[in-house]
Amino acid sequence: MEHYELIVIGAGPAGTPAAMAAAQFGKKVLLIDKRGEPGGECLFEGCIPSKVFENAANRYAIFKEAQNFHIELKSSVQIHWEEVLRDKEKIIHRRSKEALMMIEKIPTLTFKKGEATFVDAHTIELDAQHYSFDKALIATGAKVNIPPFTGNGIKKAWTNRDVFFEEEIPKELLFVGAGAISCELAQMFNKLGTKCTVLERNNRILQHVDKDIAEVIEQKMIDSGIQIELNVSITSIDYYENTFNIHFSQNGETRNLQKEQVLLATGRNANIDTLKLENAKVSYDRNGVEVNELLQSSQPHIFACGDCIDSPHFAHTASYEAGVVVHNMFAPHPRKVDYDKNSWVLFSDPQAASVGLGEEEAKKRGIDVIVSSYDFSIDARAQIDKEELGFVKFIIDKKSRVIIGIEILSENAASLAGEATLIVANKMSAMDVMSAIHPHPTLCESFGKLAQKIFMGMMIQKKQNREKEERL
């Protein structure tokens, strides 16, 4: 039986960097993935293909908006969807191939295709072969959650895995769920001419997004022609004569809709069903493998990270966790994960970005905060671009004066998120941000101007407090 110092199960954005880092430190590592190609869900069926589609849709939409900049287009504009699909495949396989080449250059790292299962706490089985290990990392990601709706339409509905392989743009598409995947794809397909409908069980879309941001995106979706139905409880999805019939109740009323195609975007579950974790006595629940702040499971030598644990489900967060795992496996002094500096971007229209603690989360923790915003309607760059919808919001710990969170709503939120991440990660104050000289006219000026607004407000408040004390 071959022995490894580390066995990593899953070659996505958590498993691959962890395996490579450990092997580069000289550890004998086995990396296993059932797909046989590194990249994981994000690369093959998640954020990368969705952004290829989003990029194409946005550029297509630019031509429709050309008249806003006094540009007249004489001929009609067409999009060749089959070429977009080819671009997606090229990018996916290029990135996977490049990752595989990097893996193959590390002599102490072995990559195998297959589905691993635990035999016991120090042994896994792969293709009828047993391999022993000192340490293991579970990084198997998440899978699509299929809700328990009745009806034969469930098996025929798309998920995010299906939609990226369809060769034709649908004429109409109904989304079940109004999370990040639905909102991004609904806006994207809407720009391509698809009639989109979104059904959401809650009273607003994007439940995990800042309420001010979600409200603006929801209105933008409605204004663009997307039908949004809230407070919906679906009972069944039937399929007959090439048509989906969706039955649901809404605010006490029974309704149904008929649509050409349905996409289920109802969350994700940890992809751990086939691992036989009970053989290794690794504890898990409905949220995935149970881990501590060091990302150790109930077996201290078996770690888990990425979407198969109860943590923020983002590729970059998984890669961050992978670094923490490798450190805690082989370095003398352990590190705890710190999600208070996590960041994410929603590629909606307009885009949204969040870093650190949101306003609601800070208040839940009992942190007394100062919240202040800079509205892009007064910004020179936003006025030039005719993209005035949006804002930058700072959430500041009133006691320490540290900026603990930043929310951004802007057509260019993804580009602005980098500076926001550095501000929060380095625990900067408004004074620190104000001391930077931001170029004009750019959207990143918003950070400096908001910091100046907050600083001046604090100075005025101090002055008023002094004057009040003197009067007393």
The catalytic position among 3, 130, 208, 440 is 440
User: Residue 280 is encoded by which pair of tokens?
Assistant: 């290794």
Q: Is 70 a catalytic residue?
A: no
Look up residue 245 and give its amino acid: N
Tokens of 227: 């039908």
Catalytic positions, written as ranges: 440
